[in-house]
Amino acid sequence: MTAVVELMDYADVIERFDPVLGLEVHVELNTNTKMFCGCANEFGGEPNTKVCPTCLGLPGALPVVNAKAIEGAIRIGLALNCEIAEWCRFARKNYFYPDMPKNFQTSQYDEPIAFNGYLDVTLDDGEVVRVEIERAHMEEDTGKSLHVGGATGRIHGAEHSLLDYNRAGVPLIEIVTKTIEHTGERAPEVARAYVSALRDLLSALDVSDVRMDQGSLRCDANVSLMAKDATEFGTRTETKNVNSLRSVERAVRYEMTRQAAILAEGGSIKQETRHFQEADGTTSSGRTKETAEDYRYFPEPDLVPIAPTREWVEELRKTLPEMPSERRKRIQREWSLTDEALRDLLNVGAVDLVAATVEAGATPDEARSWWVNTLAQEANSREIELAELAITPAQLAEVIALVNAGELTNKLAKEVVQGVLAGEGSPAEVVEKRGLKVVSDDSALIAAVDEALAAQPDVAEKIRGGKVAAAGAIVGAVMKATKGQADAKRVRELIVERVGA
């Protein structure tokens, strides 16, 4: 039986404690090959088919650094306003875990490639918070464990475990913030906004597909509480591998209320890792959290140090794209958006989607209306991010074009979008399969109009008498008869013609 966890009301938490955050974001790079070998860097595939002696840690196999991964790490550091090390090296992080075939992880310890940066983050109401970056260092990803049997999918209660090493050795950049203080009740929102802003930046750099649902981008959220009169940080917990923006916010909020309840009762917080439960937004205990000393770091003897020249760093700086914050300012200016309209786009994660829809042929107003209203509601009802909906900007632009060409009504367009979201194919295929094209043949419309007028002679008489507004009843009847596929404007014109009004 699951123990009941006491939680403190959030308002009481804020009144009694100050939250302190530390966010560690891991991002998998989209290089063609892994970090230290020539195996393909691809998501999925049959287990243990993208492996070699090097990423399996077999005796005698030696690593070679992926130059493209170093380039990606430097570009990320520059975009985060970091200093780039003139000399750095890899280290061995030693720990035994089944999904680490070498029993150590090749990482960086006290000599990261990028350090001392910052990222300015915009909150929902437009307030800007500067999050300082401690470091961004290079390492390799682990394999993946699959625990079979049991109710939770975790190792406790499982009958056996399977290991897939396809992901072992994938290039990984870990971006670590400095402590984030003085955010008060907005701490969960700041955490979400930071990960969102970081995801946008990494996407703009084109160094990763930043798919949180596939683990390409994942966040470890460190949370602790300080009593209002305290001078030292409290003990932290680390909620591991949170894989959606919404979950980052929920995990931070839950840990604040859980820790506060324990501290208020005179208890103490255990320094540990915790697992986030998507189903109910809670966290559960993982393992006792190690310190750096427990990992017995030492320099990696099989890899030479990395010393990027200043000329190379400056050449890479020139490759940086327009940063998301600057792009938003330009878009706001070009689309004549108010601050409020821009915030609406940001809050639902629609800026890039709208921009891509405009590039595909829609107007800014058309694209914005669909993404912010209709599609944002769809995403909310499914409890997913807007970008995770199964419709692309190009597909939406195609739907909009069909409406503008008079081949779809707005109502029919929504049906087409639903068909695309349901996986029924492209907009054109959905129109064909569902028979949703607007009835534009006047002969078919005239027949439907005449039938409706004959069924409602009193309404026809009112229209003849000059009460043209009464035509709405006939329009409704025709739309019903044609299953909403008639052009309402053309139907109204035909009604007036047919009654001689």
Q: What distances in angstroms separate CA 373 from CA 135, 193, 346, 348, one per listed residue?
A: 39, 21, 13, 10
Residues 6+ apart with CB under 8 A from 66: 31, 33, 34, 35, 36, 171
Residue pair 471/449 in contact by the 8 Å Cβ criterion: no
Tell me 285's DSSP state.
E
- Do 175 and 78 share a structural domain? yes
Q: Specify the pLDDT at position 432.
A: 81
Distance CA 328, CA 58 (A): 49
Q: Which is nearest to 323 in space by CA: 425, 204, 442?
A: 204
**What does the pLDDT read at residue 453?**
75
User: Which of 389, 407, 434 is a domain's end point?
Assistant: 434
Last-in-domain residue among 434, 458, 491: 434
Closest by Cα among 253, 248, 254 to 121: 248
One domain for residues 94 and 130: yes
pLDDT, position 437: 66
Taking the CB of residue 40, how many other CB atoms lie within 10 A of it? 13
The whole-angstrom separation of Cα 105 and Cα 94 is 6
- DSSP letters, 138-179, are EEE---EEEEESSSSSSSTT-SEEEEE-TTTT-EEEEEEEPP
Cα distances (angstroms) measured from residue 489 to each of 200, 214, 383 = 42, 47, 37
Looking at the structure, tell me whether residues 218 and 180 fall in a common domain. yes
Task: Work out the number of other CB atoms within 10 angstroms of the CB of residue 426.
Answer: 16
- 144 part of a folded domain: yes
Of residues 120, 482, 114, the one with CA closest to residue 329: 120
Crossing angle of helices 427-434 and 393-404, rounded to 10°: 60
Q: Residue 102 and residue 140: Cα distance in Å, rounded? A: 12
Phi, psi of 85 (to 5 degrees): -60, 140
The strands making up 298-299's β-sheet, listed across from edge to edge, are 104-107, 91-94, 298-299
Residue 447: CATH number of its domain: 1.10.10
**Cα–Cα distance between 224 and 232 in angstroms, integer?**
11
First to last CA, the chain: 76
| Number of structural domains found in the chain | 3
Among 265, 288, 312, the domain-final residue is: 312
User: What does the pLDDT read at residue 1?
Assistant: 39
pLDDT of residue 181: 95
For residue 190, the model assigns a pLDDT of 97
d(CA 434, CA 207): 40
In the chain, DSSP finds a helix count (H) and a strand count (E) of 17, 14
Tell me, yes or no, whether 489 and 469 share the same domain: yes
182 occurs within a structural domain: yes
Residues ≥6 apart with Cβ < 8 Å to 309? none
| 22 and 168 belong to one structural domain | yes
pTM of the model: 0.79
In a domain, 194, yes or no: yes
User: Domain check: are 330 and 471 in the same one?
Assistant: no
Based on the domain organization, do 157 and 266 belong to the same domain? yes
Same domain, 384 and 468: no
The pair of three-digit structure tokens given for residue 235, joined into one six-digit string: 């003990």
Is the domain of 153 the same as that of 244?
yes
The Cα 76–Cα 217 span in angstroms is 14
pLDDT of residue 318: 97
Structure confidence at residue 312 (pLDDT)? 97
Amino acid of residue 42: E
Distance (Å, whole) CA 171 – CA 65: 10
pLDDT in tens, the chain (501 residues): 355 678 999 999 999 999 999 999 999 999 999 999 999 999 888 999 999 999 999 999 999 999 999 999 999 999 999 999 999 999 999 988 788 888 899 999 999 999 999 999 999 888 999 999 999 999 999 998 888 887 766 777 788 889 999 999 999 999 999 999 999 999 999 999 999 999 999 999 999 999 998 889 999 999 999 999 899 999 999 999 899 999 999 999 999 999 999 999 999 999 999 999 988 899 998 877 666 677 899 999 999 999 999 999 999 999 999 999 898 889 999 999 998 888 888 888 898 899 999 999 999 999 999 999 999 999 999 888 888 899 999 999 999 998 888 778 788 889 889 999 999 999 989 888 887 766 555 565 667 666 777 777 776 766 776 666 766 677 677 667 666 666 666 667 666 667 765
Query: Are residue 115 and residue 82 in the same domain, yes or no?
Result: yes
Compute the distance between CA of residue 194 and CA of residue 131 in angstroms, rounded to an integer.
8
Yes or no: say if 252 and 191 are a contact pair by the CB < 8 Å rule.
Answer: yes
According to the model, what pLDDT value does residue 486 have?
67
Co-location of 277 and 426 in the same domain: no
In a domain, 317, yes or no: no
Q: Residue 399 and residue 413: Cα distance in Å, rounded?
A: 6
Nearest to 227 by CA among 432, 20, 30, 68: 20
List residues bridging with 160 in a β-sheet: 148
* Residue 194 contacts residue 119 (beta carbons within 8 Å): yes
The boundaries of the domain holding residue 407 are 322-434
Tokens of residue 46, six digits: 């049959």
Pairing of strands 272-277, 237-242: parallel
**490, two tokens:** 């053309």
Q: Give yes or no: residues 336 and 447 share one domain.
A: no
Q: Distance from CA of residue 456 to its chain's centroid?
A: 54
What's the Cα-to-Cα distance from 472 to each of 246, 453, 485, 488, rounded to whole Å? 45, 12, 16, 10
How high is the pLDDT of residue 430? 87
Residue 186 belongs to some domain of the structure: yes
Q: Please check whether residue 5 lies inside any domain of the structure.
A: no
